[in-house]
Amino acid sequence: MLVYTPPSTAKFIPVIDLSSSFSDRLSDRKAVAWEVHKACRDTGFFYISHHQIPQDLVDRQLACARDFFALPQEEKLSIDVSKSATMRGYEPMSSQTLDDGSMPDMKEGFMAGVDGAQSYVSNGDYNSLNQWPASQPDMKVYTEAYIAEMIKLGKHLLSILALSLELPEDYFEEGLDCPMATTRLLHYPPQSGVGSGNQIGAGAHTDWGMLTMLLQDDVGGLEVRNADGEWVRAPHIPGTFVINLGDMVPVLTNGLYHSNMHRVLNLSPERHRYSVPTFFDPNYHYKIKPISGGQADKETKSNVTTVGQHIADMYAKTYGDQKVVA
C-alpha cells in the first residue's frame, strides 16, 4: 500500500507543441522528438498542444462521459463488463483496485474500442465487441469517431518516440498494422478527503502498456510522482492532452525512459470529475524487448513478453476475482 500523502504545488510537467512534428522537414520533427526525449527521461509525463484533434470532437467526448454516467444505474448495469467476454462496457463504482493493499478506487468507468479488434483478455482473438446504452445512440457515433482520431494520434506519437530514441520513425510500424486501443470514460465523485483504507479516486499506479493519451476536464485531481519521488499536480490545460508512458517503455529502453506513478483524488467539494484516457499499444503479439544501445538494466532485459499477455495479466491482477480470460 502506498499511503496517501498530499502533493506539492505544481512544479514542471512540460507542454510540448506538436506543430513541427507534422512538418515535412526531418529537422523540425527531430526538434519535437528532443523535447519528448527530455520529458521521458524525467517524469514520463508531458502535455501536448496543437495535436490536430478537433476541439468539437474532444468536447463531445467529455459530454458523452457526463451524459452516460448520469443514466440510471439499472441502465448502466444492463451493459456491465461482466456481460462482455472482452471487458467492454460499464464498470461499476469501486470495481478496480490499482494500488495493491488499498481499498478499491472511488470511480466508475466505461470501456470501448474498435469492434472486431484483437482483445487483451481473450488470447488476441479478433472478437472484441462494444456495448452501448440503448437510450444514447449518439454515444456510439461520437466515441467511435474519437477512437479513430486517437489511433491516428497514437501512431504519430510512436513515430516521435522512435525519433526521440534516435531510431527510424517507422521503428514501431510492424506492430501498428492492427494496434490495440481502448478508450475509457471515467467518473470520479467528489471526496472530502482520503477515505478509510487509503481509498482515493484512482490509487497510485503506473499504466501498463505503451502510451496513454488523457483528456481531462477542468476539475483537476490528477497527481504525478516526479523523478525525485515528489507528488505534483497535473492540472487541466485547455487544448491539450496529457501523455504518459506505460510500463512497456522502460522495458523497451532498458530503463532510460520512465513509467511514473500517478493517482487521482477529486477534492472539489461539489463538482464531479470526468476524464477520458485512451490506452494505445502495438498489436497483441508484438514482442516487448529492449532496444539495443539503451541503458543497461538486467531486470528489464530479462522481462520479454508480448503486449497482449502483459495487459491481460494486469487486468486479472487489478480486477480481482472478476471474470478475466488471459
Query: How confident is the model at residue 5, as a pLDDT?
Result: 75
Strands 211-216 and 305-306: unpaired
Of 283, 277, 280, 279, the C-alpha closest to 309 is 283
d(CA 43, CA 35): 13
Query: How confident is the model at residue 128, as a pLDDT?
Result: 86
Strands 180-188 and 108-112: antiparallel
Q: Residues with Cβ < 8 Å from 206, sequence gap 6 or more?
A: 246, 247, 259, 260, 261, 262
Q: Residues with Cβ < 8 Å from 299, sequence gap 6 or more?
A: none
260 residue type, one letter: N
Fold of 15-318: Jelly Rolls (2.60.120)
- DSSP 3-state of 301: helix
Give me the residue label for grid cell 464498470: 91
Note down pLDDT in tens along the chain; length 326 residues: 677 777 654 467 999 999 999 999 999 999 999 999 999 988 889 999 999 999 999 999 999 999 999 999 999 999 999 999 888 999 999 898 988 899 999 999 999 999 988 777 667 777 889 999 999 999 999 999 999 999 999 999 999 999 999 999 999 999 999 899 999 999 999 998 899 999 999 999 999 889 999 999 999 899 998 877 888 899 999 999 999 999 999 988 988 998 989 999 999 889 999 999 999 999 988 888 888 654 434 444 445 678 877 777 777 777 765 444 32
